[in-house]
Chains A and B, each alone.
Chain A
């Protein structure tokens, strides 16, 4: 009531001033850190992709679009992109579908619930290097468990036609429990009376799953799908640990990030590595865009 705006430019109240000062003090460390650690590197990576790294630390030479032109002509890059997508095609749908079923089971009143959950989540806590090592050993064609237990003679990780599936299986195994936990928290938000009403109507478990669970969980499923696809595109650890340089299946399994690592830090061709990682960025952006477009069709809006 007492406020009269006299001047054209209202003077900042001491409270607003205090908010301005403290606000900037509080965000300063984070923003400064993001600037140095993330925003400058984005620009720097983009610039590097126009340079060729000379051997023996003789500096960089500007080469214009040469790295990009070479990359477009490079069959290895396209193959690695295909490999990455093939990995995603195994990892994403299977890890989501199995996790969804498990989450629905664990959302019931069932004994040992938290025990099962703890076990399924276990691979998330293990170092990827250790996970890859033990799977590589499990897949060993001569001496190890899988072939000997089932009497098979499969070259799980050295047959180029099979290795991508074997790597995908490790991916599913690794991420299953994580997806399941996300689904479980989504399921817990669905009111129990929906199921009670369906029970009274005599709807069985399958009908309930498709008519109640799936539509009401579509938001969570979509979210998990998006993050899983983007995560799968960044496949590196498994390939690095499982595929030796001499493995005949390497060309058919190496991922785009693996190739980025190889050129940037093993072959010391950072310019080319930078171009590859820009390609990864572009692919990620396109997928994010597509997923945003599809979201409206797919997700049940309340």
Chain B
């Protein structure tokens, strides 16, 4: 076998493996969609086993949309994501800048506290966080959903690294021109860390979207749940009706997946820089 033929064979084998894995990755989503368009009878038919619905019905989507009030769930999820992203980016960029570029007493001690927080499993915080929300009488509010994500040790760490990568000359020039520290930060340094801010924003958004335990703990009212918690509670109500369950799962997943497909490069990089905190 010649070199070229051997190379082509290797390529073919690699593609075959990649296609098989792709298929395994996609099948659950396809099955979700196929089931969502079936009747209950069709979805539980064994002989013959039905893969494609004979008639693509949309009743399941209409029913679950109405029963679960998905418009409200989308809004709650959107608000949760919005406030978490804004709060995380704002607090982390300020703290990251100070830790990376300013020299002041107590800085290193405070930063070691930030690192310490990152080592602790987050479940430790949940009981007291819940008790705080409960004492404030804030259960079943958007604020309760946002609460644990108001600040971020990980984001602070991420942005500190970003600020450390910037050259000293910029700051020195700004200082000679008479810029105050705040002006230097706002006008010169912060715009240069845009890509890290985007990464943190995407990471925060996906994390907020996927988080299930905290919303289940604080918001038991259906009108204040985000998608993740609503899906979890829905399962108990419709256990046997898989077409409806799959329709709901699809409605909950599709917006995020569409956004991901559009911005996939930023998503993958954003989440990959998070370095495993998911």
List residues of A whose CB falls within 8 A of some B CB.
15-16, 18-20, 22-24, 26-27, 29-34, 36-42, 44-45, 48, 98, 101-102, 105-106, 108, 110-112, 114, 116-131, 133-135, 137-138, 140, 142-145, 148, 173, 176-178, 181-182, 185, 205, 223-224, 226-228, 230-231, 233-234, 236-237, 240-241, 244, 257, 260-261, 264-265, 270, 273-274, 277-278, 280-281, 284-285, 288
Contacts and interface: CB of A to CB of B under 8 A. Distances in A.
B35 interface: yes
Interface of chain B, main secondary structure: helix
A214 B266 CA distance: 27
Interface string B110-128: 1001100101111111111
A16 B49 CA distance: 75
B237 to A, nearest CB: 13
B68 to A, nearest CB: 13
Nearest to B272: A181
Given A23-B104, A108-B14, A34 B148 contact: no
B228 interface: yes
Contacts of A142: 44, 46
Given A30-B92, A30-B151, A44 B128 contact: yes
Interface stretch (B18-26, B55-63, B78-86): B18-26
B128 A118 contact: no
B98 A27 contact: yes
Contacts of A265: 130, 216-217
B15 interface: yes
A126 B129 contact: no
A144 B271 CA distance: 33
B173 interface: no
Interface of chain A, main secondary structure: helix
A277 B127 contact: yes
A105 B231 contact: no
Given A240-B212, A277-B124, A37 B235 contact: no
Interface residues of B, number: 101
Given A122-B29, A129-B231, 4 more contacts: A22-B185, A125-B260, A129-B252, A240-B213
A129 B232 contact: yes
B268 A121 contact: yes
Interface in B50-83: none
Contacts of A31: 95, 110, 113
Contacts of B206: 124-125
Given A130-B252, A143-B44, A124 B271 contact: yes
Nearest to A284: B121
Contacts of B272: 178, 181-182, 185
Contact of B114 (A30, A138, A223): A30
A22 B98 contact: yes
18 contacts: A19-B104, A23-B98, A26-B95, A27-B107, A29-B151, A34-B153, A36-B132, A38-B153, A45-B125, A105-B17, A105-B18, A137-B31, A143-B242, A233-B121, A237-B213, A277-B121, A277-B126, A284-B119
Question: Which of A18, A114, A124, A223 has the most C-beta atoms of chain B within 10 angstroms of its own C-beta?
Answer: A124
Nearest to A131: B28
A216 B182 CA distance: 42
Contacts of B127: 41, 44-45, 48, 264, 270, 273-274, 277
Contacts of A123: 25
B210 A127 contact: yes
Report, nearest first, the 3 A-B pairs whose CB atoms are least far apart.
A227-B276, A33-B151, A23-B104
A119 B20 CA distance: 12
Interface in B240-263: 242, 245-246, 249-250, 252-253, 256-257, 260-261
B155 to A, nearest CB: 9
B8 interface: no
Interface string B204-246: 0010011011001100000000011101100100010010011
A48 B261 CA distance: 45
Given A31-B113, A134-B31, A38 B209 contact: no
B181 interface: yes
A142 B217 CA distance: 34
B156 interface: yes
B178 to A, nearest CB: 12
A26 B32 contact: no
B150 A127 contact: no
B39 interface: no
A118 to B, nearest CB: 5
A206 to B, nearest CB: 12
B22 A116 contact: yes
B267 interface: yes
